[in-house]
Amino acid sequence: MMMDLQTSLIILGGVFVAGVITYNKWQEHKARKTVERAFSSSHDDVLMSPDEPAATAEPVFAPPVADRTAPAPRMAEPTLEPDAGRAEPSFYDLPERKPVPAPVKAYQEQAEFEPREPFLGEPPVPAAPATAAAEEAVLGEAVAQAPQSTVAQVIAGAEEQGDAVPAFTPPPEMQARLAPKRELPVDELIDCNIPIALDNPLRGEKLLPMLQGLRHVGNKPVHFIGRTTDGDWEAIAHGSIYNALLAGAQLANRSNAINEIEYSELVMRLRDLTDSLSGEPELPDMPDVIRTAQALHQFIIDHDAQLSVNVRSQGAPWSLATLLAALTRQGFDRRTEGYLVMQDGEGEVLFALSTNATPTDETTDRLTLLLDVPRVAPSRDGYGALVACAKSLSARLGGVIVDDSDQPLTDEALSDIAEQVAAFYSAMESAEIPAGSTRALRLFS
């Protein structure tokens, strides 16, 4: 009798285990089929196809993730005070310096110090010869008298069909003055600028190997530019001769601001370098550098906006293997396990996608799209592309768009966020650190 009972329990247990396994397999099969059906349409998704431009129905900027209903970040706008005077180095003429932007200056004033003036800029330009001024006057008169449709042709020296247009080609000197300035690796706003006087001019091919030993201090990059014999500043390059250098150590990034230990290391290594170059650096005072770095780091903290939008399953979880394969075919670039990025047409990252899964997971019920706001320029419309992608995924997979608190995000809520994004972009623009610019990419790294 006891044996019959044990046999029955064993059989019942086996049936139960088999049922659980069968049910799990059926759920996995259902999840896989759901994803396959979602991406099996023969109609290409305009948003997610890498060969087509992203649909951008939304405005172009987003607020921090922490509080989606909070007002857009606000920046103090104090009246810009004149910069305090500072004695110029005697070993060469320093270029004219620009004032510190008002929003950034507000952070510096809160630290109760006067920032050290930057050294970077253009060297003093000698008075233009009378011939150059006359040529510019000719150009201005020709443009003013030309019909609106032919102004570009006058400048380019082209001819309009049927009527000959006087051609004007600016001389090389004028072209140099009218040409856009090149972006230099040493920045007057975000770097600690240290002028270096050289006893003798040095060639770029001699300088480059010696400068390689000082590329970072802590986790902050260090760059160098040189002044050529023509008086122009440029990145150190082969074939050029330099009579002065300018070192720039980045003051802050997302991690931290430059501190006393890092600055002391910079000074020590820079002195060793300049001794080998027969040069002399003009080192700023440590307290000024540290306070400027802390003010800049506070600016980074206040504007480090990470925006996320989630797509949550309303039914069975989705098969990860099938989902990742489908997303890759639709234009996402798989970077790490469960992490993908969507790029624009120029190879720059617009936003990222996380599956919120561990390496051992086979399914997920939530996808998170993440926009690193300060690193994406408004012109690329990262927020609009992110929202359009979220809507496409939710429609394909039968999901719903939610925030980090699992609350549904309506079209009205998404539009409100877009307005905050636009205000945020304006705030960064007014601080002369536009989102997506070289300055922003360096600071928010």
Per-residue pLDDT at 334 = 82
pTM of the model: 0.65
pLDDT for the residue numbered 104: 55
pLDDT at 315 over 80: yes
- Cα 258 to Cα 216, 217, 249, 284, 442, distances in angstroms: 11, 9, 9, 14, 14
Domain 182-302 fold is: Cell Division Protein Zipa; Chain: A, (3.30.1400)
Beta strand residue intervals within 260-348, DSSP E: 279-281, 306-313, 318-319, 332-336, 339-343
Q: Which residue has the higher pLDDT, 337 or 141?
A: 337
**Cross-strand pairs, 434:** none
User: 44-65+305-443 — its CATH code?
Assistant: 3.30.1400.10
What per-residue confidence (pLDDT) applies to 221?
Answer: 97
Strands (E), 211-348: 216-217, 220-228, 233-235, 241-250, 279-281, 306-313, 318-319, 332-336, 339-343
Sign of CA dihedral 14, 17, 23, 26: negative
165-196 per-position pLDDT tens digit: 444 455 665 555 444 456 899 999 999 999 99
**Dist CA 326 CA 236 (whole Å):** 46
CA distance 368 to 340: 10
Q: Residue 194: beta bridge partners?
A: 247
pLDDT at 201 over 60: yes
**Which has more confidence, 115 or 277?**
277
Q: Classify residue 209 by burial, with Cβ atoms within 10 Å: 0-12, 13-18, 19+.
A: exposed
**pLDDT for the residue numbered 388:** 95
The structure tokens 């009527």 sit at 163
Domain 44-65+305-443 matches domain 182-302 at the CATH topology level = yes
Higher-confidence residue of 22 and 304: namely: 304
For residue 70, give the DSSP letter.
S
Please report, for the chain, the start and end positions of each structural domain, with discontinuous segments joined by +: 44-65+305-443, 130-178, 182-302
pLDDT at 125: 47
Q: 175 phi and psi, to 5 degrees? A: -60, -40
In angstroms, the CA 367 to CA 353 distance is 7
The mean pLDDT value of the chain amounts to: 76
Higher pLDDT pick, 349 / 14 = 349
pLDDT confidence of residue 375: 96
Whether residue 60 is predicted with pLDDT greater than 60 in this model: the reply is no
Q: Which of 73-77, 246-250, 418-422 has the lowest mean pLDDT?
A: 73-77
- Residues 262, 266, 268, 269, CA torsion sign: positive
pLDDT at 194: 97
Whole-angstrom Cα distance, residue 381 to residue 364? 28
The C-alpha atoms of residue 93 and residue 348 are separated, in whole angstroms, by 39
Mean pLDDT, range 89-118, rounded to an integer? 47
9: confidence class by pLDDT, cuts 50, 70, 90:
confident
Of the chain, the end-to-end C-alpha distance in Å amounts to 74
Q: How confident is the model at residue 346 (pLDDT cuts 50, 70, 90)?
A: confident
Mean pLDDT value across residues 392-420:
95
Q: Give residue 16's pLDDT band: very low, low, confident or very high (50, 70, 90).
A: confident
Percent of residues in the chain assigned helix, strand, coil, to nearest 5: 40, 20, 40
Model pLDDT, residue 27: 65
Q: Where are the alpha helices (DSSP H) in 356-431?
A: 382-397, 411-430
Cα–Cα distance measured from residue 59 to residue 72, given in angstroms and rounded to the nearest whole number: 14
| In 122-256, beta strands by DSSP E | 191-203, 216-217, 220-228, 233-235, 241-250
* Sheet of strand 339-343, all strands in order from the earlier edge strand to the far edge: 332-336, 339-343, 349-354, 366-372, 306-313, 399-402
pLDDT interval class at 374 (50, 70, 90): very high
Question: Averaged over 71-95, what is the pLDDT?
Answer: 39
